[in-house]
């Protein structure tokens, strides 16, 4: 009878789960329970109303499973029976996004998240209490499902995106703390913990938020990195810098990270000496942090712009776009604009534009810098006028033509020595006249402004004669 009570308890638990996330035992388990209960009735061991009710519940559950199975098979080839290992234990349907729970069981992400978001902290199958709620993608099962679907002409299940991964419990806080404590341990432990933290902060937004709640989390995280020796272990540096990038994506962390005295210097060092991926992620982290206005000033004063410009000049395509994005964002602040010009941004940007590298992004930065007088002088000295006029004449991007017109308008207004070059281009190709008619609104306005200045100059010269 004790065994019967245990079975009844298991069925009650399964029924409770079904009310929240449809977590019911599979048909084999139900049939076994039904057989056990029927044997007790037939043997005269138990004729109570309670056990009769349980039998009816199981029969109802079996009928529902049969109906679900029938419905799911309507879209599947008659000869293609979905293997049990491809079905989510909760939904009993083909998994779209299989993930592994702490107990090692695989579930469909959407359904196990609903289970966890409802407050459960046990594994639906094993009933074990979870040591943490981290979900690890099961790439092997996902790939096997894709191959199976392709083989049987079945559409690969679509990912369900209506459930947010916002589960954070005491176990998760303890787990995060344990990983951070390993930053003070052996090099081997540091590397393992850093890799795990990188993955966690990438996959789980809830863990990014959790960092800001834990006292001393940022100092603990960068403790293995010390200025001047941060690149001694490139893999460790890469994982920790990438973790900083992931953390910076959470708005509440941006100020916390940037105001720590060591983080920005470590990011600058990573820009100079890390692997290509480390340097790219360091630049991306600075871009992310700079979305907060107060951080733009902090980062600008730190000397990061020079490191970003040097990275841009090196020309590694993997990192150039991140560096350009960070420079653009930082130069929204006037003081940073002056710093970028002083650190050689105009020369580097024009060189890359003339090489036809990252033209869209770099023209946007140059248009922003062009309001600085020294940038105007360098633009003329480096032969940018003919280059920019050529982009307007030959280019197809309306936005790039707009940027070129804006830069040239500033140059025209501030440097009379460029007027002859403008006039020659206009006489030979009517580049500005065409833009004044066919460009977007801002480009037309800037082109007309240049033409008016040139016409005015001609009138002055004519009257002088």
Burial 106-124 (b: 16+ CB within 10 A, else e): bbbbbbbbbbbbeebbbbb
Nearest C-alpha neighbor of 65 from the set 112, 19, 26: 26
* Cβ partners under 8 Å of residue 446, min gap 6: 402, 405, 406, 408, 409
* Cβ partners under 8 Å of residue 425, min gap 6: 386, 389, 393, 431, 432
Nearest C-alpha neighbor of 250 from the set 294, 197, 282, 212: 212
pLDDT at 160: 64
pLDDT at 19: 40
- What does the alpha-carbon distance between residue 35 and residue 41 come to, in Å, rounded to a whole number? 10
pLDDT at 67: 63
Q: What is the pLDDT of residues 345-364, one digit of tens each?
A: 999 999 999 999 999 999 99
For the entire predicted model, the pTM comes to 0.67
Domains of the chain, start order = 84-152 (3.30.40.10), 357-464 (1.25.10.10)
**pLDDT mean for each 10 residues of the chain (465 residues):** 42 41 55 70 63 76 67 50 89 90 90 82 87 84 90 80 57 84 93 92 82 85 78 89 93 90 92 92 96 93 95 89 95 95 96 94 95 91 93 92 95 89 89 93 94 74 33
Within the chain, how many helices (H) and strands (E) appear?
A: 25, 3
Q: What is the pLDDT of residues 81-99, one digit of tens each?
A: 888 889 999 888 899 999 9
Residues in the chain: 465
- What does the alpha-carbon distance between residue 383 and residue 390 come to, in Å, rounded to a whole number? 12
């Amino acid at each position: 009878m004790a065994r019967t009570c245990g079975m009844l308890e298991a069925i009650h638990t399964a029924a409770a789960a079904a009310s929240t996330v449809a977590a019911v035992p599979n048909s084999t388990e139900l049939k076994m329970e039904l057989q056990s209960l029927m044997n007790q009735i037939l043997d005269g061991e138990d004729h109570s109303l309670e056990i009769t009710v349980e039998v009816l519940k199981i029969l109802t559950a079996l009928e529902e499973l049969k109906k679900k199975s029938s419905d799911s098979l309507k879209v599947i080839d008659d000869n293609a029976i979905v293997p049990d290992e491809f079905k989510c234990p909760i939904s009993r349907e083909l998994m779209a996004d299989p993930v592994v729970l702490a107990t090692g069981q695989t579930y469909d992400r959407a359904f196990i998240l609903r289970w966890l978001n409802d407050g459960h902290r046990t594994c639906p199958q094993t009933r074990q209490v979870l040591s943490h709620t981290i979900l690890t993608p099961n790439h092997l099962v996902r790939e096997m499902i894709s191959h199976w679907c392709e083989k049987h002409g079945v559409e690969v299940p679509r990912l369900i995106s209506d459930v947010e991964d916002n589960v954070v419990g005491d176990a998760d806080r303890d787990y995060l703390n344990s990983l951070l404590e390993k930053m003070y341990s052996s090099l081997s432990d540091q590397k393992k913990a850093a890799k795990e933290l990188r993955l966690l902060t990438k996959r789980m937004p809830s863990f990014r938020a959790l960092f800001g709640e834990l006292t001393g989390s940022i100092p603990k995280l960068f403790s293995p990195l010390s200025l001047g020796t941060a690149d001694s272990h490139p893999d460790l540096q890469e994982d920790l810098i990438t973790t900083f990038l992931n953390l910076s994506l959470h708005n509440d962390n941006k100020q916390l990270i940037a105001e720590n005295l060591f983080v920005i210097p470590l990011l600058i060092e990573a820009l100079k000496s890390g692997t290509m991926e480390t340097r790219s992620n360091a630049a991306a982290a600075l871009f992310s942090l700079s979305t907060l206005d107060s951080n733009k000033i902090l980062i600008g004063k730190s000397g990061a712009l020079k490191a970003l410009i040097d990275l841009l000049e090196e020309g590694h395509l993997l990192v150039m776009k991140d560096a350009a994005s960070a420079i653009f964002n930082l130069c929204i602040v006037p003081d940073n604009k002056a710093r970028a010009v002083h650190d050689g941004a105009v020369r580097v940007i024009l060189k890359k534009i003339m090489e036809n590298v990252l033209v869209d992004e770099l023209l946007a930065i140059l248009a922003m810098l062009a309001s600085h007088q020294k940038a105007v002088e360098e633009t003329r000295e480096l032969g940018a006028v003919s280059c920019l006029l050529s982009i307007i004449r030959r280019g197809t991007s309306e936005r790039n033509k707009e940027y070129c017109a804006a830069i040239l308008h500033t140059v025209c207004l501030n440097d009379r020595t460029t007027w002859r070059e403008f006039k020659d281009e206009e006489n030979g190709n009517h580049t500005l006249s065409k833009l004044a008619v066919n460009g977007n609104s801002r480009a037309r306005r800037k082109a007309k402004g240049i033409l008016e200045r040139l016409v005015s100059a001609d009138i002055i010269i004519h009257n002088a004669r």
